[in-house]
């Protein structure tokens, strides 16, 4: 598709830089080959799919550079790792999936080894060629994972694992107990004029999926089956719902701490949140609680993904092994308020904080997890093999229109 016009060197340099900056090293060449994995990926092969994986973990390099969510590289489990492996860990905290993808441009730039990407960034990283497959057989804890997190469609394409699942959690409905004596049973409270000016939702285009999930149950006529694979008409319905919601919103929150202060000051009484906010507020004796309404919930699932140009791959493998051990899984789950991928973490969670295993659903039956629709990057390719779904760029511009 590249059209070379006049302009010579500058243009050549420009396009090369842009290629690298904008879309990773080799830019996801389209091919009509076969691919399994998630239905959303038919007709596309990730650029790094052919990259060979190591048969064993070699000599460690002494350093490891992570891009992570805040709270994912706490001293409690980083220090023992450094002592055990000699890999000195440096962590760059990213504030959003967008920032993670920006930082991972060009395969991590030869700078970063691993990124704790969420599902909304995963496919972008995979098809951008910024991450490469790993050898899942080198991960001893993998066999103890909840089955749905062993090879989920957001990080496993065509049987190749582009990283290892880590932790997950639902996007819950957080409410003030003084405004709601009993737990709301439907997401409809977020669209109810009664709470105008007292509602908060995340400032994230992926929020359109929450509206789509709600519509899939309340307006079955739209035929929404997957909130991340929306045809134009389904997408428009979700966007319209969110436009109607706009006047009710006090603040689209960007940081978890913002939502915490919104609720602790009583500015808002209901909103979409992570369990983390609830935990922090409850620990501060605030009268709030959360719930998953009848329509189910969207959720995030994070994966440690290996950068294409990882400078310290052996330390990276050691870290993926370490981060998925039951103890570290439990520590992180309790610290952040999320659910570990490793089933064996449950009893250790209860040792750290009594009742936390059940509180974070770490021992829930598989059917519970099926109610959570995990984030994935919306692509034009739908699960039905058609290419009429709305891609993420349009989600972003629609979100700009909604939030104005």
Site residues for other proteins, 64-93, by CB under 8 A, read 65-67, 70-71, 75, 90-93
Distance CA 333, CA 345 (A): 9
When binding is defined by CB under 8 A, the residue of 39, 51, 57, 105 that contacts other proteins is 105
| Binding status of residue 393 toward other proteins by CB under 8 A | yes
Query: Rule CB under 8 A: which of 164-183 touch other proteins?
Result: none
Q: 363-387 as b/e, with b when 16 or more CB fall inside 10 Å?
A: eeeeeebeebbbbbbbbebbbeeee
**370 vs 400, beta carbon nearer other proteins:** 400
Listed ranges 27-35, 143-151, 172-180, 212-220: which one lies at the site for other proteins (CB under 8 A): 27-35
Q: Which of 75, 72, 145, 92 is nearest to 333 (CA)?
A: 72
Query: Rule CB under 8 A: which of 335-354 touch other proteins?
Result: none
Three-class SS state of 200: strand
| Binding status of residue 217 toward other proteins by CB under 8 A | no
Three-class SS state of 242: helix
User: How far apart are CB 199 and other proteins at their closest, in Å?
Assistant: 9
| Binding status of residue 145 toward other proteins by CB under 8 A | no
Q: Is 160 exposed, middle or buried (0-12, 13-18, 19+ CB in 10 A)?
A: buried
Distance CA 63, CA 361 (A): 35
| Binding status of residue 256 toward other proteins by CB under 8 A | yes
Query: Rule CB under 8 A: which of 355-384 touch other proteins?
Result: 377, 379-381
| Binding status of residue 284 toward other proteins by CB under 8 A | yes
**200 vs 295, beta carbon nearer other proteins:** 200
Query: Rule CB under 8 A: which of 146-165 touch other proteins?
Result: none
Distance CA 248, CA 151 (A): 39
Q: Diameter of the chain by CA atoms? A: 69
User: How far apart are CB 216 and other proteins at their closest, in Å?
Assistant: 23
When binding is defined by CB under 8 A, the residue of 40, 44, 211, 372 that contacts other proteins is 44
| Number of Cβ within a 10 Å radius of residue 361 | 18
């Amino acid at each position: 598709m590249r059209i070379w016009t006049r302009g010579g060197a500058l243009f050549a340099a420009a396009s090369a830089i842009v290629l690298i900056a904008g879309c990773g090293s080799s830019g996801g060449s389209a091919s009509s080959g076969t691919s399994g994995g998630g239905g959303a990926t038919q007709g596309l092969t990730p650029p790094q799919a052919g990259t060979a994986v190591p048969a064993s973990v070699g000599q460690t390099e002494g350093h490891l550079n992570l891009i992570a969510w805040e709270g994912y590289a706490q001293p409690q489990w980083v220090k023992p790792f450094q002592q055990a492996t000699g890999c000195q860990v440096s962590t760059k905290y990213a504030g959003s999936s967008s920032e993670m993808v920006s930082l991972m441009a060009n395969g991590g730039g030869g700078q970063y080894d691993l990124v704790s990407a969420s599902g909304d960034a995963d496919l972008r990283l995979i098809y951008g060629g910024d991450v490469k497959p790993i050898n899942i057989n080198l991960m001893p804890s993998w066999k103890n994972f909840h089955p749905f997190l062993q090879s989920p469609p957001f990080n496993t394409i065509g049987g190749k694992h582009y990283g290892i699942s880590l932790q997950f959690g639902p996007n819950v409905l957080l409410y003030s107990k003084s405004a709601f004596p009993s737990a709301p049973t439907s997401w409809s409270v977020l669209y109810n004029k009664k709470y105008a000016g007292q509602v908060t939702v995340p400032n994230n285009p992926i929020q359109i999926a929450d509206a789509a999930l709600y519509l899939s149950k309340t307006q079955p006529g739209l035929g929404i089956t997957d909130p991340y694979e929306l045809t134009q008409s389904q997408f428009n319905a979700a966007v319209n719902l969110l436009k109607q919601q706009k006047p009710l919103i006090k603040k689209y929150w960007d940081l978890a701490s913002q939502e915490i202060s919104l609720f602790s000051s009583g500015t808002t009484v209901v909103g979409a949140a992570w369990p983390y906010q609830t935990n922090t507020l409850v620990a501060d004796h605030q009268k709030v609680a959360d719930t998953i309404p009848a329509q189910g919930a969207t959720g995030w699932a994070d994966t440690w993904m290996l950068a294409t140009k990882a400078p310290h791959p052996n330390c990276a493998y050691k870290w993926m092994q370490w981060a998925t051990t039951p103890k570290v899984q439990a520590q992180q789950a309790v610290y952040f308020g999320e659910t570990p991928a490793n089933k064996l973490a449950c009893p250790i969670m209860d040792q750290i904080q009594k009742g936390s295993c059940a509180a974070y659903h770490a021992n829930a039956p598989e059917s519970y997890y099926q109610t959570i629709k995990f984030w994935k990057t919306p692509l034009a390719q739908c699960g039905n093999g058609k290419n009429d779904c709305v891609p993420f760029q349009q989600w972003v511009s629609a979100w700009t229109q909604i939030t104005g």
